[in-house]
Chain A
Amino acid sequence: MITINNLSLQYGEKHIFRNVSNNINNKDRIGLVGVNGAGKSTLLKMIAGDTVTDPGIIQKSKADTTGYLPQEITGINLDETLYREAETAFSHLLEKQKELTAIHDSLGEVAPNSKGLDNLLERQGDLQQYLDSGDIFTMQSSIEKVLMGLGFRTSDFNSPCSTFSGGWLMRLMLAKQLLAKPSFLLLDEPTNHLDVQTLTWLEDFLKGYEGGLIIISHDRIFLDNLVTAIWEISLGNLTVYKGNYSKFVVEKEERQTITKSAYDNQQAKIEQTMRFVDRFRSKSTKAKQAQSRLKQLDKMDLIEIEDQETKISFRFPPSAPSGRNAVIIEKLEKSFGDKKIFAGLDLELERGDKLAIVGANGAGKSTLVKLLAGLDKPDGGVMRFGHNVIVSYFGQHQAQELNPELTVLETMNRMDMDKTVSQTRSLLGAFLFKGDDVDKKVGVLSGGEKSRLALARMIATPANLLIMDEPTNHLDMGSQDILMEAMNQYDGSIVVVSHNRFFLDRFTNKTLELKDGKATIYEGNISYYISKTQHKESNEVVEGKPALSKTSKPKGKKARQEQAKLRKNETQSLAPLKKEVQKLEAAIEKQEAGKSALEQCLADPKLYEDQAKFTEKSKEYAAAQKDLERTYGNWEAAQDKLEQAKQKLR
């Protein structure tokens, strides 16, 4: 168990924690939430012992260990291979094993009755016992399971860490923490660099994790699936809510409503009492009563209302609409050295389309958006923008690329925009840079604040095609909601790369999956894409690829029976529709044959000698053509019905 006793922390006038106390039990699953800069990461670092606190403030039981995954990459030896680096999670066992091997070797050299033998034997016993109770014998299979679950391939195991990108190194750090199996796993934004499939695997893994979990995440589906309690850090206070994130949102609102009405009632009562006191204070017969009411007021516990935390507020400015097509891409190719990122990529984006790009790390998502934004050139293929398309780009590292020497206001003024200072200030105000904040240097801003400034820069100039790469990284949930709403209401086109399922679900209408150099378009949002791909996965066995999700394949007799039942239902409900389509197809064939026979007849010059016969045949031909058109119409309608029924069943 971990106990937090009266934790207080203050930076200048801002209270990060004000007498925070609480307990964390060994099986607790806690989601830590709060706006950017509320102190979530600080609290996690304190629990992990990375940030030193006064003795007694944070107490841990001796047997409990903590594993902390920070947001940035630390503690990885880049020269080491992937497998060896992952193995360091078991370093305590490996050290003991090394010592044991040394003892075994020395035992071979010691004479039977020598002095040192007893000491060596005792140490051998201790070490052997320690190793027997550890996971040394299952180490290799655990490492393989976790690394492959997090998306690495067997061929990667012997590659040096230096060959992996930042996103993959973060996965390695996560793998090391999962392998070390600490009593408390403290994860700071573990989902930031994970693709959708790996995220599902991680969720499954953490669901079966034996120790306690404390997670900071801005992915609400991830939190909803994993945590059983929410700790909200707000204005220096820590409030505990039971249940997952969705329950927290509802309960927080309820609590606020109840407190607000209790506060209103109390204020009304105070006002009433004060009126009574003012009126009767100087009246001799009632003065005593007035005094006693005053005393009652003094004794009253005053209800305090929490100050509301301000949220950013903005809309993307309207811009002149583009032509019908925003972008047309044909046979696009891109390689880095020998590595082919994609080849033969076709894509057509119409005005108003909101496209999500998904895929594993390194699949080429950022490369594609950079090509779209004109920051990189393709190796082949055509990329055309439609008429009057104005592009605005928000890169993955946009926030980090801001000049740290400039102030917030200067950063905005460097933009080529015709806005007055007061207009710029009011725009910055919407992104919570108020008063003197605009004179802060960019270098001192937090990750979330930099992201907000980058967003403010982006919306300063109107555009009708937004290209955004991971816009929600570092943004707190409140800001994410506002951004999501703004993107939903935006009437231009959007191309967005993100791993945040909840965020994408709200506004996208198309999903582009990049996988193994191929691009597949799904005509729906991310939920539609997930349901489609899971369906596909359960139907096909990919050779040499580990099953990523336990739920993707039916196991056991019951599951098979269930599947069979579903198939039977599907066949039964689709059968009449299929029959109708087949019937209409047969009719079309017959009518087509009749029509072509009539055409042949009409082509015969002899027909025109007999006027009556010609009229009759002409009428027949017109009727046949009409019939055929009608049947085609019916066939299309039947096809649509069949497709809809299939969709429903999925």
Chain B
Amino acid sequence: MAHGKNYTNSIKDKDPLKIHTLDEGVDAIIASSFAKFDESVDIAVKLGVDPRHADQMVRSTLVLPNGTGRVERVLVFAKGEKIQEALDAGADYAGGDDLVEKIQGGWLEFEKCIATPDMMGVVGKIGRVLGPRSLMPNAKLGTVTFDVARVVGEVKSGKVDFRVDKAGIIHAMLGKVSFGSEKVAENIRAFIEKIIQLKPSSAKGIYLKGVTISTTMGPGYRLDPVELRSLVK
């Protein structure tokens, strides 16, 4: 693939075979960031799981210690006093049947969707709209709850949800270049710790096979999974 001159410049001194420690890697991606906007820091983790087995599915959420740096628009399906509770906690939209109708009409200006359990009967009707966009509330991810204020707060303060794809890889966004190396490294450590906690008991062989971090536009740097494991308490 042909790359631009900025990218080519940024990989001039990069050794493609080198495996980096966490600090080296984070420093390297920040140093090689060249875009005119505040780039995101992305991570890709290759796991030793077979996602075809239902019991080897790795999927969860995590509130990052330093947030994601991205403000997400949150919609809450609720009724009664819960609507006001959600709005007070910072939700962008809260409501019931009116929102369902709006979504059925093609409106989708939000990134996260939360529902109280008593609203799921109504929300289920728009499953075909929300499902393909991964917006459907899911109790496993904590987005079906009566405690809407807490969840809205978490999402607003930087909650990431992630799942392993068909190839056994997890992708996630863990912050911004503007956070600085320390905060980014802290987010990565928290993320790896969570993934290690989620190891399915039926997964065989090496679990953490490979970890690569990059910025939105920049090159990827491979991290040493063994070192990462040792950093986790």
Contact = CB atoms under 8 A, between A and B. Distances in A.
B136 A128 contact: yes
Interface in B114-173: 117-124, 127-128, 131-132, 134, 136-141, 144-146
B117 to A, nearest CB: 4
Given A63-B53, A124-B144, A132 B120 contact: no
B124 A125 contact: no
Which of A124, A128, A129, A130 lies at the interface centre, i.e. has the most chain B CB atoms within 10 A of its CB?
Answer: A128
A103 B115 CA distance: 14
B117 A129 contact: no
Given A101-B124, A112-B146, A137-B132, A128 B117 contact: no
B121 A107 contact: yes
A62 B53 CA distance: 8
B22 interface: no
Contact of A125 (B131, B132, B141): B141
Contacts of B59: 129
Given A104-B123, A124-B139, A125-B141, A117 B131 contact: no
A121 B137 CA distance: 11
B140 A126 contact: yes
Nearest to A137: B132
Given A125-B140, A129-B57, A129-B59, A136 B131 contact: yes
Interface string A112-133: 1000010011101110111111
B139 A121 contact: yes
B54 interface: yes
B146 A133 contact: no
B201 to A, nearest CB: 15
A543 interface: no
A479 B63 CA distance: 70
Interface residues of B, number: 29
A132 B117 contact: no
Interface in A114-173: 117, 120-122, 124-126, 128-133, 136-138
A371 interface: no
Contacts of B131: 131-132, 136-137
Interface in B45-74: 50-54, 57, 59
A100 interface: yes
Interface string B18-57: 0000000000000000000000000000000011111001
B119 to A, nearest CB: 8
A64 to B, nearest CB: 8
A129 B120 contact: no
A556 interface: no
B138 A105 contact: no
B24 to A, nearest CB: 35
A130 B138 CA distance: 11
Nearest to B53: A63
Given A120-B117, A137-B131, A128 B54 contact: no
Given A63-B52, A121-B117, A122-B139, A104 B134 contact: no
Contacts of A121: 117, 139, 144-145
B141 A110 contact: no
A280 to B, nearest CB: 65
Which of B52, B53, B119 lies at the interface centre, i.e. has the most chain A CB atoms within 10 A of its CB?
Answer: B52
A110 B118 CA distance: 7
A104 B145 CA distance: 13
A589 B12 CA distance: 78
Interface in A410-431: none
Contacts of B132: 137-138
B121 A105 contact: yes
Contacts of A110: 117-118
Contacts of B139: 121-122, 124-125, 128
Which of B50, B134, B140 lies at the interface centre, i.e. has the most chain A CB atoms within 10 A of its CB?
Answer: B140
B117 A107 contact: yes
A93 B52 CA distance: 15
A121 B141 CA distance: 11
Contacts of B136: 128, 132
Interface in A432-486: none
B203 to A, nearest CB: 13
Contacts of B140: 122, 125-126, 128-129
A337 interface: no
Which of B131, B132, B139, B141 lies at the interface centre, i.e. has the most chain A CB atoms within 10 A of its CB?
Answer: B139
Contact of B124 (A104, A109, A129, A133): A104
Nearest to A138: B132
A107 B120 CA distance: 7
A75 interface: no
A100 B124 CA distance: 8
Nearest to A183: B52
A107 B122 CA distance: 11
A109 B121 CA distance: 10
A120 B140 CA distance: 11
Nearest to B140: A125
A127 to B, nearest CB: 9
Given A132-B134, A133-B57, A124 B120 contact: yes
A248 B8 CA distance: 50
A55 interface: no
Contacts of A100: 124
Contact of B120 (A63, A104, A131): A104
A138 B122 CA distance: 22
A208 interface: no
A107 B139 CA distance: 11
A605 interface: no
Nearest to A64: B52
A108 interface: yes
A128 B121 CA distance: 14
Contacts of A137: 128, 131-132
B50 A125 contact: no
A138 B123 CA distance: 19
Contacts of B53: 62-63
Nearest to A120: B117
A107 B52 CA distance: 29
Contact of A63 (B50, B122, B134, B146): B50
Given A128-B138, A129-B140, A108 B128 contact: no
Contacts of B123: 104
Given A62-B53, A105-B124, 13 more contacts: A63-B53, A101-B124, A107-B117, A107-B144, A108-B122, A112-B117, A112-B146, A121-B145, A124-B138, A128-B139, A129-B57, A136-B131, A137-B128
Instruction: Give the top 9 A-B pairs by smallest Cβ distance, nearest first.
Output: A125-B140, A125-B139, A121-B139, A104-B120, A104-B124, A107-B117, A63-B52, A108-B121, A137-B132
8 contacts: A103-B120, A105-B124, A107-B117, A121-B145, A125-B144, A129-B59, A131-B131, A132-B131
